Homo-oligomer: A and B are copies of this chain.
């Protein structure tokens, strides 16, 4: 049993992790339910952008506002997780045009022409020391 409490990551560490990654999960509300979906995102200053097609996900983030984007990494001895919570909105006009310059592409096929921006109100991260019992379950490659 490992009794080391999680360590809080600094805002700088959190943003660095967000910049170094591009694959995360977006949680949002829809009709009183909670949903999660994997997304490909990019950091633009202190904002997060992703592309989507018209559909559930897009409608939700625009109509219901609060979202949370999570990234994490699970190692043998340590894991970390960063969560950015805030509101989302669809980019239009010049903002959408500017986003064309960013290295942001949908990570799967299909038409995903709409760009959504998340303005994080809170970015938090934690590092966890993993308990020894889990070592044999971790990929070691």
Contact = CB atoms under 8 A, between A and B. Distances in A.
Interface in A120-141: 128-131, 133-134, 137, 141
B137 A36 contact: no
Given A27-B27, A72-B25, A35 B108 contact: no
Nearest to A74: B23
A46 interface: no
> Which among A106, A109, A134 has the greatest number of chain B C-beta atoms within 10 A?
A109
A27 to B, nearest CB: 4
Interface of A: 1-6, 22-23, 25, 27-29, 32-38, 40, 66-70, 72, 74, 79, 81, 83, 85, 105-110, 128-131, 133-134, 137, 141
